[in-house]
Homo-oligomer: A and B are copies of this chain.
Amino acid sequence: MNQRRRPTQSDVAKAARVSQATVSLVLSGSPHPRTRVSDESRQRVLDAAEQLGYAPNALAQGMVRGRSRVMGVFTYEPVFPRDGSNFYHPFLVGMEAAAEQIAVDLLLFTSAPLVGKRRRLVDTGWNRVQIADGCVLIGRLGDADEVATLSEQRYPFVHIGRREGSQQLPIPHVGADYVAATAAVVERLHGLGHRRIAFLGDLGGAVSALDRLNGYRTAIERHGMRPIMLDAAAFSPGETIEVLTTNGATAVLLSTVTISPQELADAATHAGRTVPTDLSIAVLGESEVSPAIDRRWSGFTIPRVEMGEAALRLLDQIVRGDTDLPHEQLLPCATVPGTTVATVS
């Protein structure tokens, strides 16, 4: 009965007594078409479209234009995990803001089932990905092969988080400048009189961990200090404090998911050292696993909202075919004054 299908350009054309092509020209033609339509025809088309409630089929437009004005967001883990942790939220805040400005919709690839703990992009999600003009990739579990495949296929994408590619196939990404931010923390501590500053981190090999380590080393060496690097995985909080004391450290930079700042502070207290009077603690950004770090911890925060925004903007430029774009965009981290660093006593 009322189950009428949506009107198409042909319907409008019939009503306006023009050709379907003319309708297309009037309703969704380029602003500077090579062919013009008489004002009379144009008006008839406009009226008919209005009257029929015509709206273009975005799928058909997307197909012929090769663009859909949809940007994909692929996360290797669930975007909205059930456990209430909320790692991706800030990125999405930024992406939504940017999406509104560049007028694109965001497609979350929720159809790719989790295999093990992560989603497979290329296998299952591959043909789905192409619904979008490009894709933002987020997550720690990113697979190098998958990313390489995207590159090879010249599919436009931007990775959130620093990521090394190859000379021929660089990986466009938006990251945080951990090197500078970590160096700045060292500078700050040095300015407060600290001369024995330790680094407690996951010395495994993640890019983001290495960046922090590099920033630490550079700044330490610049001031002729001796680096004290501890692998968080090797010690319990109590042992860590012991080692710090043995090394005469008056400050420690924390870059690990193994020990929380609170655990470390508790261990210090337990050992009779007061934070920050006897030991300054600085946190090098929220960890990805437990993003919520209280603002009272001194250190820096990762500019996630800005990273989300920048990633979508960069992706948009890539999709538009802008060439000569930098493959790397590093955003500055914001210093957190906090209350856990102080002048050396």
Q: List A residues at the B interface (Cβ < 8 Å).
A: 2-4, 6, 53, 55-60, 62-63, 68-70, 78-82, 86, 89, 92-93, 95-97, 99-100, 103-114, 126-128, 130-131, 152-154, 305
Q: Which residues of B contact A152 (CB under 8 A)?
A: 2
CB closest chain-B residue, reference A122 = B55
- Does the CB pair A153–B59 fall under 8 Å? no
Establish whether residues B57 and A3, one from each chain, have CB atoms under 8 Å apart when the complex forms: no
Chain B residue at minimal CB-CB distance from A97: B82
Is the beta-carbon distance between B107 and A105 smaller than 8 angstroms?
yes
In this complex, which of A92, A103, A127 has the most chain B Cβ atoms within 10 angstroms of its Cβ?
A127
Contact A127 B96 (CB under 8 A): no
- The answer to whether A109 and B113 have CB atoms under 8 Å apart is no
Chain B residues whose CB sits within 8 angstroms of the CB of A69 once the complex forms: 111, 128
The 4 A-B pairs with the shortest beta carbon distances in the complex, nearest first, are A99-B110, A55-B127, A80-B93, A106-B108
The CA-CA distance from A92 to B110 in the complex, in Å, is 11
**Chain B nearest CB: distance from A321 CB in Å?**
11
**Do A103 and B111 have beta carbons less than 8 Å apart?**
yes
CB distance from A63 to the nearest CB of B (A): 5
Chain B proximity of A28: nearest CB distance (Å)? 9
Residues in B with CB closer than 8 Å to A96 are 78-80, 108, 110
Do residues A131 and B59 form an inter-chain contact, with CB atoms below 8 A?
Answer: yes
B82–A305 contact, CB under 8 A? yes
Given contacts A82-B305, A96-B110, A110-B104, are A63 and B59 in contact (CB under 8 A)? yes
Chain B residues with Cβ under 8 A from A58's Cβ? 127-128, 130-131
CB closest residue in chain B, given A105:
B111
> 28 A-B contacts, Cβ less than 8 Å apart?
A6-B130, A6-B153, A53-B153, A55-B127, A57-B127, A58-B127, A58-B128, A58-B131, A59-B59, A59-B131, A62-B131, A69-B128, A80-B89, A80-B92, A80-B96, A82-B305, A86-B86, A99-B111, A100-B113, A104-B111, A105-B107, A105-B108, A105-B109, A105-B110, A105-B131, A106-B107, A106-B110, A107-B108
CB distance from A177 to the nearest CB of B (A): 22
B93 x A126 contact (CB < 8 A): no
**Residue of A110, A111, A114 with most partner-chain B CB within 10 A:** A110
Q: Is the pair A130, B57 in contact by a Cβ cutoff of 8 Å?
A: yes
* Chain B residues whose CB sits within 8 angstroms of the CB of A81 once the complex forms: 93
Least distance between A93 CB and chain B CB atoms (Å)? 4
